[in-house]
Amino acid sequence: MAKVDLNADLGESFGAYTLGMDAEVLRYISSANIACGFHAGDPLVMQKTVALAKSASTAIGAHPGFPDLMGFGRRNMTITAQEAKAYIKYQVGALWAFAKAEGLKLQHVKPHGAFYNMAAKDEKLAAAICEGIFEVDPELIVLGLAGSAHITAAEKVGLRCASEVFADRGYMDDGTLVPRSMPGAMIHDKDEAIERTVRMVKQGCVETISGKIIPIKADSICVHGDNPDAVGFVRNIREKLIAEGVAVVPIAEVIQA
């Protein structure tokens, strides 16, 4: 039976501000990427989100971003490889402490926003991120954009890696995501998004913004939990995958040898 992971970015509230419907989304995903305080999240939010994931028996991973609360980590930053490694270690270490307190182990690391998108193309940045992860825990899984420099860097460093696809994002011809500033960045038709997702998982391909069909590897599907229709959308994707004979399991079970 085919297997795939369903992941979502959670724990992105901050102080008095609430973002997302984490408790509801956790009912349907198999892996949670938890913000670590740089782009979103704070100690109390991190603690609560880890506890919620434990209650839902959902695997957890760190979701480190650029130190950019005002921009929600979506603005590009120019940083050195040394800084990238330090940012990774700092944030993974913070979430590790909360996981440890709950008797849990981190499964993976998925950078957020601009950190993620830049690592998909920038080989030096991708290498620094993966080296930082490896130095913290070589057993951690890297979750990166399918076909990207991030995946290549993880393999070179010796980390296990999982190729991620996006249920509701448009793709460029080179396999990167359509920038949010461009038309076609988001797939707003839920039925279309679900059909695209099933095709990526079962057929290993996706239609780009130009209409070209390109190959893609789908170990994990990212679904967003920060809009009013998110819970129904995630539930529908899960139900459709299962109906198509695809098991929804944590990342570690998808990529195991």
Mean pLDDT of the chain: 95
At 158 the pLDDT is 97
201 vs 6: CA distance, rounded Å: 11
Cα angle, residue 163 at apex, residues 1 and 135 outer, rounded to 5° = 120
67 vs 38: CA distance, rounded Å: 4
pTM above 0.75, yes or no: yes
The tokens 């998909």 sit on which residue?
120
Beta bridge partners of 65: none
At 230 the pLDDT is 81
Exposure of 190 by Cβ count < 10 A (0-12 exposed, 13-18 middle, 19+ buried)?
A: middle
At 188 the pLDDT is 87
What are the structural domain ranges in the chain? 2-255
For residue range 93-125, what is the model confidence (pLDDT) as tens digits?
A: 999 999 999 999 999 999 999 999 999 999 999
Q: What is the mean pLDDT of residues 138-162?
A: 97
Q: What is the band of 36 on the pLDDT scale with cuts at 50, 70, 90?
A: very high
At 58 the pLDDT is 98
Is 257 a residue whose pLDDT tops 60?
Answer: no
Report, at the CATH architecture level, how domain 2-255 is classified: Alpha-Beta Barrel (3.20)
